């Protein structure tokens, strides 16, 4: 192994710790709310996912998940179920994961009582009995209990669980919901004496029955019972073609050995054989050889080592590596809130397999959005997950899992991703409202979102400057209602109040005005002054327009006067010409005098009209002069 350290040869130790549940989870009832609690240690803060069976649990109106820091790197995790029903029963799992690892806490939730035909906890209905046979070669311990469903039975001697052997047999006789439980000891001896306990348990509860067995001890034989000098072990040779199970014991006298596989007595053959060699005084080396092991050879092997002074069992579990097996089609789990898709597949394999997820014909590479997690569910069974976060349309397609080990590989059936979870931007349902109030009063601004989401980011501003919690301003958000409270309003805190609600999918905002009453009055006065000035300007403009109209009227009247003067002059010339003609014709004809008189009269009338028109013009000029004089005095 080559270790290469950079930066002066000092390895960098990451600052953190993987998630760990230091205490057993608890369940309790708080009114109509069922509460499951787990204590967690982790650094950095882990991501928490609750499961019911294999189903991811999400926040609803009935179900609420809480994560509360209780100290440095410690957290209290709670799952609260309001008004629980039978459908809420089952196995729950709290998964905590950070960059240093992950851990799980398991909780079984069972409901008692209910409908007719429901089960009940075990209960002993008779006093336990110890019954020897006539010859004393068999002792039977008998207990009788009722239970529904059938209970699981465990016998203990002291604190140690009793195992079946050639000497000890266990039986249970069933009569509907009544069970007769028997423990039989063949050829009992003094060491078999002690306190025995029969433990019965089902999903509704458990019960215990105690029995004291006293056997008069016969004279102890000379010698020592078998004891291990070296711990039993399994090793392989010839590249796995030969499996050896071995142990060394101390015993006096020499013991007898019997081998079992999965409870069945073994006999020697060309495939399997064993021997016992004496290695020194009272030391014996025991060795079993298994050639060309296969899948059927896996399981529990037991060597019973016995002499007159006692007996000993060596238990060894043999796991034979086989090709991985995938029994079920992968499951697709969509977490809409996180825009995440998880594909899970279960693999049967003795040891952890190497796993590759394929999209169409291309291997999915792990990156910031794609991660592969392999979790051992139980011995020989693994959960393999492909988690894709912030999914896009490019993640649509057909996926399958390839699981490999040294013996071969297995491929899962394909699953197709056709829909990508999309999130929505927050929407403000109830907007901000403007407020006018006196100084030093308290004021509260609030908005209500259309949906509840505690991950929504809330930002408050005043005149574009961000507000934070301080002695004057208090901010709060419960997932749906965002509040901003000012304890004492001052002039410095007035202005335009804005709230911005945002998440990764978008944002919404609302604005309102915060105004002091004094400022409102000043604002009104300024507006009134503006109105007066505007009115004055309009009146002055009207006066100017009237002056222009008067000037235009004078010009028109002068033009009319000039035209009339010109017309009169022309008429006078015509009259003169006519007079000249008359004079010349007078001499010739006397009657022309009458015509001349009429022309003169007509000329007088026209002059009169001209004088009247001039008077009108003079009157108009006098009026204008009078108005101008009054205006100057003002």
CATH (residue range 331-417) = 2.60.40.10
| pLDDT tier for residue 352 given thresholds of 50, 70 and 90 | confident
Give the range among 49-53, 72-76, 128-132, 521-525 with minimum mean pLDDT: 521-525
Distance CA 430, CA 610 (A): 82
Between β-strands 473-477 and 481-486, what pairing exists: parallel, antiparallel or unpaired? antiparallel
Phi-psi region of 101 (alpha: psi -120 to 50; beta: other; left: phi over 0): left
Percent of all residues in the chain with a pLDDT value above 90, rounded to a whole number: 35
Instruction: Say if CB 493 and CB 462 are below 8 A apart.
Output: yes
The dotted CATH code for 428-518 is 2.60.40.10
Q: Where are the domains of the chain?
A: 17-109, 120-213, 224-318, 331-417, 428-518
190 backbone dihedrals φ, ψ, rounded to 5°: -50, -45
CATH code of 120-213, in short, is 2.60.40.10
Q: Kindly report which listed range (318-327, 400-409, 443-452) carries the lowest average pLDDT score.
A: 318-327
Q: Is the pTM of this model over 0.85?
A: no
Task: Tell me the mean pLDDT in the region 559-581.
Answer: 70
Cα separation, 27 vs 36, in Å, equals: 5
Q: Which residue has the tokens 């069976």?
A: 53
Q: Which of 105, 106, 93 is nearest to 41 (CA)?
A: 105
Q: Which of 371-375, 394-398, 515-519 has the lowest mean pLDDT?
A: 515-519
| Fold agreement between 120-213 and 331-417 | yes
Other CB atoms within a 10 A radius of the CB of residue 413 amount to 11
CATH superfamily of 17-109: Immunoglobulins (2.60.40.10)
Choice between 300 and 558, residue whose per-residue pLDDT is larger: 300
Q: Write the pLDDT tens digit of every residue in 37-58.
A: 999 998 888 899 999 988 899 8
At 37 the pLDDT is: 92
Please provide the average confidence, as pLDDT, over all residues in the chain: 82
Which positions ≥6 away from 428 have C-beta within 8 Å? 447, 448, 449, 450, 499, 501, 508, 509, 510
Checking if the pLDDT of 553 tops 70, the result is no
Evaluate if residue 589 carries a pLDDT over 60: no
Q: What is the pLDDT of residue 574?
A: 74
* List of residues 6+ apart from 463 with CB closer than 8 A: 495, 496
Q: How many CB atoms lie within 10 A of CB 569?
A: 10
The pLDDT of residue 296: 82
Q: What is the CA radius of gyration of the chain?
A: 55
Taking the C-alpha atoms of residue 137 and residue 224, their distance in angstroms, rounded to an integer, is: 23
Spell out the residues 6+ positions from residue 388 whose beta carbon is closer than 8 angstroms to its own. Answer: 340, 341, 342, 343, 369, 370, 395
297-328 pLDDT, tens per residue?
888 999 999 998 888 898 988 877 667 888 78
Pick the CATH number of 224-318 from 3.30.450.30, 3.90.1310.10, 2.60.40.10, 2.40.37.10: 2.60.40.10
């Amino acid at each position: 192994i080559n270790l290469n350290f950079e930066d002066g040869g000092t390895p960098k130790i990451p600052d953190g710790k993987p998630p760990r549940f230091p205490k057993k989870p608890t369940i309790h009832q708080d009114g109509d709310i069922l509460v499951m609690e787990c204590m967690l240690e982790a650094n950095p803060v882990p991501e928490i996912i609750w499961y019911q069976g294999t189903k991811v649990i999400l926040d609803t109106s009935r179900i609420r998940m809480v994560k509360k820091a209780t100290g440095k790197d410690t957290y209290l995790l709670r799952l609260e179920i309001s008004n629980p029903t039978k459908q809420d029963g089952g196995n729950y799992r709290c998964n905590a994961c950070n960059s240093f690892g992950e851990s799980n806490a398991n909780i079984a939730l069972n409901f008692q009582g209910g409908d007719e035909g429901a089960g009940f906890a075990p209960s002993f209905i008779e006093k336990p009995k110890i019954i020897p046979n006539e010859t004393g070669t068999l002792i039977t311990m008998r207990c009788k209990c009722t239970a529904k469903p059938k209970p699981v039975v465990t016998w203990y001697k002291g604190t140690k669980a009793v195992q079946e052997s050639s000497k000890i047999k266990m039986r249970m006789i069933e009569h509907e919901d009544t069970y007769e439980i028997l423990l039989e000891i063949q050829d009992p001896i003094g060491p078999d004496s002690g306190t025995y306990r029969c433990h019965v348990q089902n999903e509704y509860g458990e019960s215990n029955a105690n029995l004291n067995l006293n056997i008069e001890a016969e004279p102890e034989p000379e010698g020592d019972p078998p004891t291990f000098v070296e711990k039993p072990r399994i090793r392989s040779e010839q590249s796995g073609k030969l499996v050896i199970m071995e142990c060394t014991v101390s015993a006096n006298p020499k013991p007898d050995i019997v081998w079992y596989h999965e409870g069945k007595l073994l006999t020697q053959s060309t495939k399997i054989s064993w021997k016992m060699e004496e290695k020194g005084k009272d030391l014996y080396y025991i060795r079993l050889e298994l050639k060309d092991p296969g899948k059927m050879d896996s399981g529990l092997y037991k060597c019973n080592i016995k002499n007159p002074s006692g007996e000993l069992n060596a238990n060894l579990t043999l796991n034979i590596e086989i090709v991985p097996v995938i029994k079920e089609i992968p499951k697709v789990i969509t977490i809409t809130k996180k825009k995440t898709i998880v594909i899970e597949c279960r693999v049967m394999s003795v040891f952890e397999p190497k796993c590759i997820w394929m999209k169409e014909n291309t291997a999915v590479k792990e990156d910031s959005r794609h991660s592969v997690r392999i979790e051992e569910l139980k011995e020989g069974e693994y959960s393999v997950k492909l988690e894709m976060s912030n999914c896009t349309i490019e993640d649509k397609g057909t996926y399958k899992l390839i699981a490999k080990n040294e013996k071969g590989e297995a491929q899962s059936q394909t699953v197709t991703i056709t829909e990508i979870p999309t999130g929505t931007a927050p929407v403000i349902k109830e907007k901000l409202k403007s407020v006018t109030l006196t100084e030093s009063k308290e004021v509260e601004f609030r908005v209500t979102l259309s949906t509840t989401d505690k991950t929504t980011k809330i930002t408050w501003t005043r005149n574009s400057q961000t507000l934070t919690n301080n002695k004057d301003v208090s901010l709060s958000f419960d997932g749906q209602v965002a509040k901003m409270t000012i304890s004492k309003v001052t002039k410095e805190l007035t202005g335009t109040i804005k709230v911005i609600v945002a998440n990764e999918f978008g944002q919404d905002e609302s604005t309102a005005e915060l105004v002091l009453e004094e400022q409102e009055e000043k604002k009104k006065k300024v507006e009134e002054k503006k109105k007066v000035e505007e009115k004055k300007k309009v009146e002055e403009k009207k006066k100017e327009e009237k002056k222009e109209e008067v000037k235009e009227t004078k010009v028109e009247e002068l033009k009319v006067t000039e035209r009339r003067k010109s017309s009169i002059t022309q008429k006078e010339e015509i009259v003169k010409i006519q007079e000249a003609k008359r004079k010349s014709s007078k001499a010739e004809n006397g009657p022309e005098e009458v015509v001349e008189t009429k022309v003169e009269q007509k000329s007088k009338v026209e002059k009169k009209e001209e004088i009247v028109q001039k008077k009108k013009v003079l009157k108009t000029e006098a009026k204008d002069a009078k108005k101008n004089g009054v205006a100057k005095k003002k």
